[in-house]
Amino acid sequence: MKWVEQIILRSSSESLQELDIDSVIALANMNRTPRPNHIKVYKHGSLETDLSVFLCWATEQPEPMGSSVARHISQQLSNFGLVNSSWWIETLDIA
């Protein structure tokens, strides 16, 4: 089953400048199994202070409380602003 976790950070511009997202993701991914197939980071198109992290998975079942990787990333990002997370199951893939 393919599914994705989305973590959204809304911060101040000062906080976002201090954030090293590569380090946050690297630390979250270390020594954790399973690991996501891939991780994508997006910035909002018009709000410079919004950041979104997507963890893409292919496992038998999504983790109901979120993955340990997502929980760790969310916890670290909460130091920089408001964090919201959710997970979604893929229902259609149009290539």
Indicate whether 74 belongs to any domain. yes
Asked whether residue 31 carries a pLDDT value surpassing 80, the answer given is no
Contacts of 2 (CB under 8 A, 6+ apart): 56, 57, 58, 89, 90, 93
Give the separation between CA 20 and CA 8, rounded to whole angstroms: 15
- Kindly tell me the burial class for residue 53, based on how many C-beta atoms sit within 10 Å of its own C-beta (0-12, 13-18, 19 or more): buried
- CA nearest to 8, candidates 63, 16, 89: 16
User: Domain limits at 12?
Assistant: 2-89
Indicate whether 83 belongs to any domain. yes
Taking only the tens place, the pLDDT of each residue in 48-60 is 899 999 999 999 8
Indicate whether 94 belongs to any domain. no
Indicate whether 13 belongs to any domain. yes
Indicate whether 95 belongs to any domain. no
Instruction: Note the pTM of the prediction, 2 decimals.
Output: 0.89
Total of domains in the chain: 1
Taking only the tens place, the pLDDT of each residue in 69-80 is 999 999 999 999
CATH number at residue 15: 3.30.70.100
